[in-house]
Structure 1
Amino acid sequence: MSKRYESILDTVGNTPCVRINKLGPPGINLYVKVEAFNPMGSVKDRLALGVIEDAERKGLLKPGQTVIEATSGNTGIGLAMVCAQKGYPLVVTMAENFSVERRRMMRFLGARVVLTPASDKGSGMLAKAVELAEAHGWFLCRQFENEANAEYHARTTAPEILEAFADTQLDYWVTGFGTGGTLKGVAGVLKQRSPNTRVVVCEPDNAPLLGSHLPQSRADNGMPSASHPSFRPHLMQGWTPDFISKLTEDTVNAGLIDEICPIEGSKALQAAMDLARKEGIFCGITAGATLAGGLQIAQTAAPGTTILCMLPDTGERYLSTPLFADIETEMTPEEIELSRSTPGYRFDKPSAPPPSVASPVTATPEAEQFLAEALTDTHQPVVMFALEWCEFCWSLRKLFSRCKIPYRSVDLDSAQYQQNNLGGSIRAALNARTGVVTIPQIFIGGEFVGGCSEVFDEYSSGRLKERLKNAGVEYDDSLKLDPYSLLPSWLHPRK
């Protein structure tokens, strides 16, 4: 990695195969391919780049055309990276029950995310993507049947594996199936160039789509026409949708799969946690599930057997899932006792304030004039005196933004007010006027309302609505919310 790259897209692939030293049985050579080393943290970066560049070469994707795809998240995140770098607008459709981290990441990268009801499952979000693509003339990636998906893995992932194990026999390659791209692309190459490597495909034990050997109903274009009868909800997001993809079905029909391994959800969670706490490898539930499959193989394998498991993504996009259900946000009793083992910087015992050495700031005539003009400006009757990165100020900004309340923010600590400490002088003038030393301070029509909590309380009581009406401020008064929910979690009252 110690080289220069022309763009982030050049860093996709070449992920490491890492030995597992503590989790497998003695005498077994257990390795994992850590796809979290891709720039957006998952194996789907490969798919995204492969599908987009294939469409460009074939003239299927025009400059500036919108790209759309149905995704559980990782493909969408990879596509968001590729589309951002190449200049394509991106829309993704995603079932509402997938983790919120994923949709926020895609939106941060510039994508638009259209959610579909959880009851419609993966086939519902796929149908919505098709519907939108046809209605608007967008390019649909079709990751579940697009051969470019599998071909990219055949060109990159499979050769990387063969190179990593060029000096030894790779006995088992273990993976999930999802879109089927990784499975079809890698399995096809392994069967040609490493025929003694057994391909093991894992799936949830309560949703045995492949293990049931029941056919998938399919439309003429290769897309599923209905949910598979063996599908049940499971923990492994993105690992097994409610249908068998065309790429996966092709792999089954070609006889490239040697073994199907059902995985319990609890074992997937435990394996993911064990990877983090015993091997220092931070990954998601699907990676834990794949490793659990590798560990099952290892229990009965002969000494000296070499196993490679695919770890599809990182653990950061599972923060709102059962993987982190037992991970505390606040201090545990053990951590509280650790805090109490030394005397300072504790929540239950205030620390002594540091001695003040700064000279008191006074309100200059310039600051007094600034304050007077700001509070009598009829064009901007809502004025917030704030600090740029204060959490209370940002919580108020969220409220004003959601209610579409126009306001002026005077950020006293910003570069704009640094010369001659004008910000400090304005704050001194504010203190003299209101008798309040804290920030933020909000005025409406020249009248002092208070700080963050006072505005929140007036919003809840309806008093803020009256103030805005009296000041002639037009805004959206239809929104109903608990304003205190806009505070960062650490500012909520400590239980």
Structure 2
Amino acid sequence: MTKAFDSILETVGNTPIVRITKLAPEGVELFVKLEAFNPMGSVKDRLALGIIEAAEADGSLTPGQTVVEATSGNTGIGLAMVCAAKGYPLVVTMAESFSIERRKLMRFLGAKVILTPASEKGSGMIAKARELADKHGWFLARQFENEAGPDMHSRTTAQEILECFDDAPLDYWVSGFGTGGTLKGVARKLKADSPSTRIIAAEPDNSALLASGWCQPYNADGSPAASHPAFRPHLMQGWSPDFVPKLVDDVLRADWIDELVPVAGADAMTCAQDLARYEGILCGTSGGATFAAALDIARRAPRGSRILAMLPDTGERYLSTPLFAEIEEVMNAEELDIAASTPRFRFDASASTPAAQAAPPAVPTEAARAELATLISNPETPVVFFALEWCEFCWSVRKLFAAAGIEYLSVDLDGAAYRQDDRGGALRKALAEKTGAVTIPQIFIGGRHVGGATETFDAFNSGALQEMLAGLGRQVHTEGIGNAYGFLPAWLHPRKPASA
């Protein structure tokens, strides 16, 4: 990188092409194009920028107008970035079956995420987006039929590929399809400028829409008029919705696809895992599926062939999906053995080890004792929460209190107000003396010590906490909360069951 950019949008594109060294069959050159190097981690950053800039140019998007679009996630994340940078509000519709990471990323970027029932598939989220656009006069991005997507890929993605392989021909280009923007834009350019390159399209083996031969009907605006009868739920998020997008149909009619390769979900996961473990390349399930198709081609291709597979996004977008289901959050047996190979800093360490020896109890000052007594006896703030600002256990209790509508005084012992003269440390000594507990958080209600995070959750689950607050004239909202242990950090397992 040789210059400073004026906007994050200038960093879209120019993603690297990397040669595969360990997983490639002997006798061929196998490459991947890492679209995760786009600023928001996926190939759809290109499409999002292309659609918004084209709409600005033709006047169909006006300053301050809300943008709305249906997405499986990556397009929505890309649009959220573009809209944030350009100042447009964004609303996305997304089927509830797509990964939670995607929802959170879009909301983190300022977008509103409207979930649609999984039973309605991709068609349902598209219909909802159109309904919202018609109702409110919003700009509908129409990624599945908008020509700005393929145009962006012809100008950027395809051109980058041609420049990378200008020393020798590229024999095979392999891609999956979702919207169809990448497939149409790159295939069109390669067929014109590198006609010897064979275009390989991959799709789920249990939901092979293109291979079915069924003719997809469309409405006058290019949107799908019916759900495809061959569609089945599949593992590759972002691939193959329950219809053949108009942009993909254009590729079929132009006869640009030289071969269709079906990919099993299990093969997609295996390839994504192998790319991470043997090549150091992190991609999602759709990238693993594309690579599986490329490996299939590589095993059959003539010796000396050059093959390029598109890897559309990053694996971090799939942490809550089956791709990471077998990845442990706690130490396995081998890791425990490694931990036990040295004596210190172990969960099973003896109390006699230097790291585990208890320090002598600290004696608080009279001023700290007095301050503690004043804090927990104030009737105006009956709920007093002694906390650390960024402690996960403290945030777990904060989330419970917020959900239950419980007002409280937060005494952040490590906060700026308590740093001078170690006021927070002195108060913590007084707190430990009074409660017998050295851990944080500690909660008091009406001057009575409830305990730490787990004791507070137990009190909520049993109803005791609600009774204490009711006695003080404070109401607690319990609807929809369920087990309070659900607010604990995800790395804590197992969670305690509710006692009520």
* TM surpasses 0.5: yes
CA distance in 2 between partners of 1:198 and 1:353 (Å) = 63
2:2 maps to what in 1?
2
| Equivalences for residues 473-484 of structure 1 within 5 A | 473-484=474-485
CA distance in 2 between partners of 1:234 and 1:356 (Å) = 54
1:284 maps to what in 2?
284
1:337 maps to what in 2?
337
Instruction: Report the alpha carbon displacement of residue 163 of structure 1 after superposing the two structures with TM.
Output: 0.4
Deviations 1:246-292 (A, max 9, x none): 11111111222222111122221121111111111111111111111
The number of aligned residues is 494
The verdict on how the C-alpha distance between 1:370 and 1:150 changes in structure 2, with shifts beyond 3 A counting, is same
2:443 maps to what in 1?
442
1:210 maps to what in 2?
210
Instruction: Report the alpha carbon displacement of residue 426 of structure 1 after superposing the two structures with TM.
Output: 1.9
Confirm or deny: 8 A CA contact 1:465 1:477 kept in the other structure.
Answer: no
1:236 maps to what in 2?
236
| Equivalences for residues 251-266 of structure 1 within 5 A | 251-266=251-266
Structure 1 counterpart of 2:11, which letter? Answer: T
Instruction: Report the alpha carbon displacement of residue 369 of structure 1 after superposing the two structures with TM.
Output: 4.8
Root-mean-square deviation (CA, aligned residues, Å) is: 2.0
Q: Compare 431-440 and 324-333 and name the one that shifted more.
A: 431-440
Confirm or deny: 8 A CA contact 2:174 2:310 kept in the other structure.
Answer: yes
Structure 2 counterpart of 1:362, which letter? Answer: P
Confirm or deny: 8 A CA contact 1:361 1:424 kept in the other structure.
Answer: no
CA distance in 2 between partners of 1:387 and 1:252 (Å) = 60
Matched, 1:363 2:381: no
CA distance in 2 between partners of 1:359 and 1:407 (Å) = 29
Instruction: Report the alpha carbon displacement of residue 62 of structure 1 after superposing the two structures with TM.
Output: 2.2
Any gaps of 5 or more consecutive residues in structure 2? Answer: none
1:246 maps to what in 2?
246
CA distance in 2 between partners of 1:359 and 1:403 (Å) = 36
CA distance in 2 between partners of 1:491 and 1:255 (Å) = 53
Confirm or deny: 8 A CA contact 2:466 2:475 kept in the other structure.
Answer: no
Structure 2 counterpart of 1:453, which letter? Answer: T
Any gaps of 5 or more consecutive residues in structure 1? Answer: none
1:69 maps to what in 2?
69
Structure 2 counterpart of 1:267, which letter? Answer: D
Instruction: Report the alpha carbon displacement of residue 449 of structure 1 after superposing the two structures with TM.
Output: 2.1
Instruction: Report the alpha carbon displacement of residue 336 of structure 1 after superposing the two structures with TM.
Output: 1.9
- Percent identity over paired residues: 61
Q: Compare 322-331 and 367-376 and name the one that shifted more.
A: 367-376
Confirm or deny: 8 A CA contact 2:176 2:239 kept in the other structure.
Answer: yes
Deviations 1:412-440 (A, max 9, x none): 11111001111122223333444443322
| Equivalences for residues 378-393 of structure 1 within 5 A | 378-393=379-394
Confirm or deny: 8 A CA contact 1:403 1:479 kept in the other structure.
Answer: no
CA distance in 1 between partners of 2:271 and 2:137 (Å) = 43
Instruction: Report the alpha carbon displacement of residue 473 of structure 1 after superposing the two structures with TM.
Output: 2.2
CA distance in 2 between partners of 1:253 and 1:277 (Å) = 40
- Equivalent residue of 1:249, what SS? helix
Q: Compare 91-100 and 154-163 and name the one that shifted more.
A: 91-100
CA distance in 2 between partners of 1:397 and 1:224 (Å) = 46
Instruction: Report the alpha carbon displacement of residue 354 of structure 1 after superposing the two structures with TM.
Output: 6.3
Instruction: Report the alpha carbon displacement of residue 224 of structure 1 after superposing the two structures with TM.
Output: 0.7
Q: Compare 375-384 and 289-298 and name the one that shifted more.
A: 375-384
Instruction: Report the alpha carbon displacement of residue 182 of structure 1 after superposing the two structures with TM.
Output: 0.5
1:159 maps to what in 2?
159
The verdict on how the C-alpha distance between 1:262 and 1:361 changes in structure 2, with shifts beyond 3 A counting, is same
CA distance in 2 between partners of 1:441 and 1:121 (Å) = 46
Structure 2 counterpart of 1:417, which letter? Answer: Y
Instruction: Report the alpha carbon displacement of residue 70 of structure 1 after superposing the two structures with TM.
Output: 0.8
CA distance in 1 between partners of 2:357 and 2:456 (Å) = 33
| Equivalences for residues 4-403 of structure 1 within 5 A | 4-350=4-350, 351-353=353-355, 360=362, 362-365=364-367, 367-403=368-404
Structure 2 counterpart of 1:94, which letter? Answer: M
1:407 maps to what in 2?
408
